[in-house]
Amino acid sequence: MSWTDERIATLKKMWEGGSTASQIADELGGVSRNAVIGKAHRLGLKSRPSPVKSADKKAAPAKKPATAPKPAAAKKPATKKAAPSPKPAPAVAQTGSAAPAPSTSPAAKPAASAPAPAAAPAAAPVNASGNPAATSQPLPNKQADTPKIVSVGPGGFLRQGPGDQQPPIPPAPPRRLVPAKPSPEIADKTSLLDLSEKVCRWPMGHPGEPDFHFCGEAVNPGFPYCVEHCGRAYQAQLPRGARRPPPPLPFGGPRVR
DNA sequence: CCCTGATTCGC
DNA sequence: GCGAATCAGG
């Protein structure tokens, strides 16, 4: 794979957007995590909290003496790293799929590290019951009069208490396989490349899905999200003692991995 | 172990 | 310029 302008653009956006090299790599497809990092550095993009980068301080870390510690010659079968599988990538289970599209391979991990809160598009706003007149949130919500802790964020978004996510969890979106490349259907959606300081970056759907896009609403000034999503992103902290008590987990709890 | 990013260095 | 191999912290 070569670094086309588009691929570079995507790399930049994602890198600056805080995606990990791995995520970027398999989003782009056909490149390794190392390739992404290497490219990023060559592009001058660099660093973001890197685990290994707090070293130095004063003395030189005396990494490698003049002697050649590593004979680069020997290439090992590399049992450690996962198989790169450059081209014949996506091992799509499912019923016989003829789509070769090497682009993305959503295969492996459930993607837990993604900052993406997994948007639930049609999530019914069950929130802010009392709905103080102060807020103009047009929430079609009646009933419920339990006084919840609701505060108004700087931009006018409603803060939620820590347990207030209305829809339990983002409705596990059926992961679709394949495509993930530009298609007419997402033409008017906010794509990765459409992100700017002015539009809401709240992710809708999941990377790799054909219709993955971003909210795209005008941002709440000073925030990366629109007012609505600010309410989701920034949640009020309940006073100590009034916190959500019990870890509702029957036992053990769902293993997330 | 896994993950992460940084760096090196042969190509 | 590219990226695998390697390093090194979490």
| pLDDT tens profile A120-166 | 343 334 343 434 433 444 444 444 455 566 667 666 666 665 555 55
Beta carbon of A75 within 7 Å of strand C? yes
| pLDDT tens profile A186-239 | 456 777 666 677 777 777 766 666 666 777 788 887 777 787 777 767 666 655
Query: Is A135 domain-assigned?
Result: no
Query: Is A105 domain-assigned?
Result: no
CB atoms within 10 A of CB A25: 22
Domain count for chain A: 2
Residue with tokens 């004063």: A58
Query: Is A10 domain-assigned?
Result: yes
Query: Is A158 domain-assigned?
Result: no
Closest CA to A123 of A159, A82, A171, A77: A171
Query: Is A42 domain-assigned?
Result: yes
Å between A206 CA and B3 C1'?
Answer: 21
Closest CA to A155 of A203, A217, A243: A217
Q: For position A35, what pLDDT does the model report?
A: 92
Strand ranges for A36-134 from DSSP E: none
Report CA Rg, chain A: 23
Å between A21 CA and B3 C1'?
Answer: 11
Query: Is A108 domain-assigned?
Result: no
Å between A242 CA and B9 C1'?
Answer: 58
Å between A256 CA and C7 C1'?
Answer: 30
Q: Which of residues 22-61 of A touch strand C (CB under 7 A)?
A: 31-32, 34-35, 37-39, 42, 51-52, 54-55, 61
Strand B: list positions under 7 Å from protein Cβ: 2-11
Closest CA to A158 of A179, A135, A129: A135
Q: For position A34, what pLDDT does the model report?
A: 92
Domain enclosing residue A24, as ranges: 5-50
pTM > 0.75: no
Query: Is A27 domain-assigned?
Result: yes
Query: Is A173 domain-assigned?
Result: no
